Amino acid sequence: ACGGGGGDDSGSTAGGDCEDVTLRLSHQWPEATGEDGDFRSLIAQKFAEGVEEETDGQVKVQVFPNSTLSKSTEQYDAMMNGSIDMSVFPLDYASGRVPEWSVTLMPGLVRNHAQAQSWEGSPIGDALVANMEENGAHLLTWVWNAGAIGSKTDPIVSPSDVEPGMTMRAAGSYVEFMLEDAGAGISSLPSNEIYTAMQTGVLDAAVTSTGSFASYNLQEQVKSFTSPTENTFWFMFEPLIISTGSYEKLCSDQQAAVDKVGADLQDYAYTASEEDDARVEKIFADAGVEVVQMDDAAFDEWLELAQKQWDAYAADVEGGAELLELAQEQHD
C-alpha cells in the first residue's frame, strides 16, 4: 500500500476503534542480519516483530536502518513533524532543541552499566521520562551504550595521558569540552571520516560507543583501547522512543501493546549492551590492540574535570541543576 504511515489523521484515536497503522521507525545503526548484528538495530527489529505479533498484524512497524530515511541528528525533528514515528535515538543529538537532554551524555555522570540501569524507576529516571514526554518523546525501552577511548599511541586512561596537542574526536559537546580541558585538540569530523582520519593521522584518538568502534573497524587503526568494563566517563542514552503525536493516534489497546513490547525488550536491551562491550573488547584484543581498563583512581581524575562541565550545564540550562542533582543522588 502506498501512503499510509503515522500521518493518518482520520479515525483511530485513543479509546476509539482500532484501525490498521503502519509506524515508521528510523535509526542510524547498521542493518542487522541474524543475531550477530548491531544490538540497537536488533532492538528495532525485535520491536517490529513483537508489535506485529501482539496486535495480530494491526500495527506494523517499518524499520529504516542506517539513516536511510532521516539523517541521524535530524531524527528528533523528523519525529516532531511526523515524517517518522519512532527511533532508537541518542537524545543528546537533540540537545540543540531540548538543552536538558545533554544530561544523557554528560561526562562522568554515569560510570558503568549498573549505574546506568539504576535510572529506570528512580527519581532521575522519572524526571527524565516526564521531560521527554513534555518534549514529545514517549519512552518504550531504556537503551544505554558505554563508550571507549581508542588511541593511536599509548593508552589514555587518566587525563594526564592526553598529550598536549593530541587531536581527538568525541561524541557529545560536554565530553569534547572536558577533553579540551585535559589538553586535547578537538576535531569535529563527521563520524564516517574517523577511520580515514585516524589512518592518515588527522586524528590521534577518538571517544565513541564501543559498538561504533567495532562497526568502523577501528581495531585496524588504534594501538590502544580503553575498555569501559570497569569505568568510563562516556555513557550515552539512546532509548527506543515513539513520538507522543504518533502514540496518541494509536487506540488504547495498541498503546498498551506498544508499551508492553517495549518493556519486554528491556532485559534484552540491558544485557545486549553489556555483552556488546565484551564482544568489542575481544575484537580489539584479538586484533592485537592493547586493551586496558580505567581504574577508580583514574576515573576520579576525570570526574574532577567532568564536574566543571556539570557546573556549566547547570548554569546554562534551565532545569539542568535539578536534573543533575537527581542524577547524582542516584549514584551516591
Q: Which range touches another protein (CB under 8 A), out of 25-33, 122-130, 137-145, 247-255?
A: 25-33
CB of 256 to another protein, least distance (A): 26
CB 153 within 8 A of CB 159: no
Write out the binding residues for another protein, residues 84-123 only, by CB under 8 A: 92-97, 99
**226's grid cell:** 580503553
Separation of alpha carbons 272 and 269, rounded Å: 5
Q: Which range touches another protein (CB under 8 A), out of 52-60, 119-127, 196-204, 248-256?
A: 196-204
Residue closer to another protein (CB basis): 54 or 92: 92
Residue closest to 72 by CA, chosen among 60, 61, 64, 82: 64
Write out the binding residues for another protein, residues 210-239 only, by CB under 8 A: 211-212, 215-217, 220
**Residues 277-316 as x/- pattern, contact with another protein by CB under 8 A:** ----------------------------------------
- Whose cell is 564536574? That residue is 307
Residue closer to another protein (CB basis): 123 or 185: 185
CB of 116 to another protein, least distance (A): 20
How big is the site for another protein, counted in residues (CB under 8 A)? Answer: 66
Residue closest to 72 by CA, chosen among 263, 220, 208, 271: 208
SS3 assignment, position 242 = strand
Q: Angle of helix 320-331 relative to helix 123-134, nearest 10 degrees?
A: 150
The answer to whether 57 contacts another protein (rule: CB under 8 A) is no
Q: Which range touches another protein (CB under 8 A), out of 11-19, 64-72, 126-134, 229-237?
A: 64-72
Residue closest to 19 by CA, chosen among 248, 251, 318: 251
Separation of alpha carbons 5 and 22, rounded Å: 5
Beta-sheet pairing, 59-64 with 167-170:
unpaired
What is the amino acid identity at position 147?
G
Residue closer to another protein (CB basis): 83 or 266: 83
Separation of alpha carbons 122 and 132, rounded Å: 15
Interface residues with another protein (CB under 8 A) are: 2-5, 7-9, 24, 28-31, 38, 64-71, 73-74, 77-78, 81-83, 92-97, 99, 164-167, 173, 176-177, 180, 184-193, 195-197, 199-202, 211-212, 215-217, 220
